[in-house]
Chains A and B, each alone.
Chain A
Amino acid sequence: MYQGVIMSGFGGQGIISTGVLLAYSGMVDGKHVTFFPAYGAEMRGGTANCSVVVSTDEVASPVVSTPDSIIVMNEPSLLKFEPTLKPQGLLLINSSLVSSKPKRNDINIITIDANKIAEEIGTVKCANMVMLGALINRTKAVSLESVVKTLSKVYPRAKKEMLEINENALKRGGTF
C-alpha cells in the first residue's frame, strides 16, 4: 500500500494540522509516513499546502510529485494541483469554496459541501475533518480509529467538546 496525498487551501483552514494528523495516524497504524509542508510564508488567508505519504514500505522520496489523492479546499488549489493527480486518482473538492469544475475526466471526483456540513456539526472550523474523513474512507490509508485516537495528540490544547466535534466531522466525512 502506498498513498501520496496533497492537501491544499488557505492558511487558517487547518491544512497543515490535517496533514500532521494523517501522518501521525499512519504511524499509529504501524505504517511508514512522511509529512512535508510548504513553509516560509505561512499566514492566515495565504496559501497553505502539504504532502503526506502513508506506505507499508519504507518511503523513498518524501516529495509527492504525482499524488494518488488530493484535498482541495479553495479555488487556487484546484488550478495548481489538479494537473498533478495520477490517472484514476482521487480528487476531493470542498464545493463550499470552489465553484470551478475540474477539467480532467480520467480521475475520480468527489465534491463535498464541507463548510455547510461543518457548520451543521458545530463549527466551520471542522471542514478539514469532513474532508479527511472522506479521504480515509475512500483510500483506507489509515483507520478512522487511529485518527480519532490521534486527535488529542495533534491538538493537545483542544477542549473535549472540540475533539468530539472533530470526531463527528470525521465520521460524517466518512459517509462520502
Chain B
Amino acid sequence: MSAEPIKFYQVGSFAVGNRLLDITERSAQSDPSRPNSINSGHRACQGCGEALGARYALDAAMRATAGDMVAVNATGCLEVFSTPYPETSWQIPWLHSLFGNAPAVATGVAAAMKVKGRETRVVGQAGDGGTVDIGMGALSGMFERNDDVLFICYDNEAYMNTGVQRSGATPPAARTATTQAVGDHPGNVFGQGKDLPRIAMAHEIPYVATATVANLRDLEAKVEKAMQMRGARYIHVLVPCPLGWGSASKDTILLARLAMESGLFPVFEAEYGEVTSVLPVRRRVPVTEYLRLQKRYAHLFHPEPDASTLERLQAMADRNFRRYDIQEVDV
C-alpha cells in the first residue's frame, strides 16, 4: 500500500476527515493554497471522473515538483472541456498537440528541459483511447527509451469525447455506440481489450501503478511517489463516466470503488516489472453490484438476467483476486 497507513476518523461515510489530521499528513487537495492545476469553470459533465482524477493527480504532481512542471495532453474529453479557446482551465504550462502523440510530445518537452539544464518535470496525460489505442506506439516508444515522463491514463473505458464508441479498454459485454446491445452476444466481445498496466510492466519501467477516483489519497500518493522517481512512469486511473456508462452523476466515486472491490479493476503498484503492492479491499462484492448501476450493462439484467455472461464477468474478477492476491481488510 503506497499511502501512509493512517487510521482515519470516519464521518458517517468512507470520506477522509482531513481536518482532523496533522497538516503534514493531509492531502494536496486539502491545502487551501493548492495550485488548482485545472481550476473550476471547465466544461466537463456533472460527475465526470476524469476531471476529478486529473485535478488530484496534477495537484499532487505539482506539490511533488514544487510547481516546476509541464503537462502534455492528448486530444480527448480532458483537452476539449478544459480549453475552449480563448478560455483555459490550466494554471500550469500545458500543451496539446494531437490524439495519438502525447507520449512523444512529452518526450520532446523533457528533452528540451534536459538540454536547457532545467529541472522542470513532465506529465503526459490521455484518455484510454489516446493511451491504449491510437497513442500506444508512441507510449511504448517512450517507455522503451525510459524517457523522464510520468504518463497518466484516465481510463473511462471507451471513446467518450466522440460519443461513446468502443476502445481497446472497453470491458467485455459493455454496450457502446459501436458494440450495441443487440444480437446473440450484445455489447463488447470477450477476449479482447488491452491491459495497459501489464503491457507497461512488460517494458520494465521504473514505476507502474493503477488507481481509481474512489481512493483519491492513494492516487495522490502514487503520483507523488512517481514524481520522486526518474525515467518512464505510468499511472492508470479508472475514471467512471456518467455519460458513457449510463450511471448517475452521484455514483462516480461509488462505481470506482465497486470496480475495485469487485476485483474487476485491481489497484496495485509495480516497479521494474514486478508487483510491489496491492491495495486491499474493505469488502469483496459480487460484480453484479457494480454492473447493475450502469446502463451500459442493462442488457445483462433485462429482460432476463444473462447468467452465463455474468458468470464470465465474475470469473474475470475472481481471476484478478487470485492474480494480484487481493486481500480483504476491514480498515
The answer to whether A binds B is no
Residue ranges of A at the interface with B (Cβ–Cβ < 8 Å): none
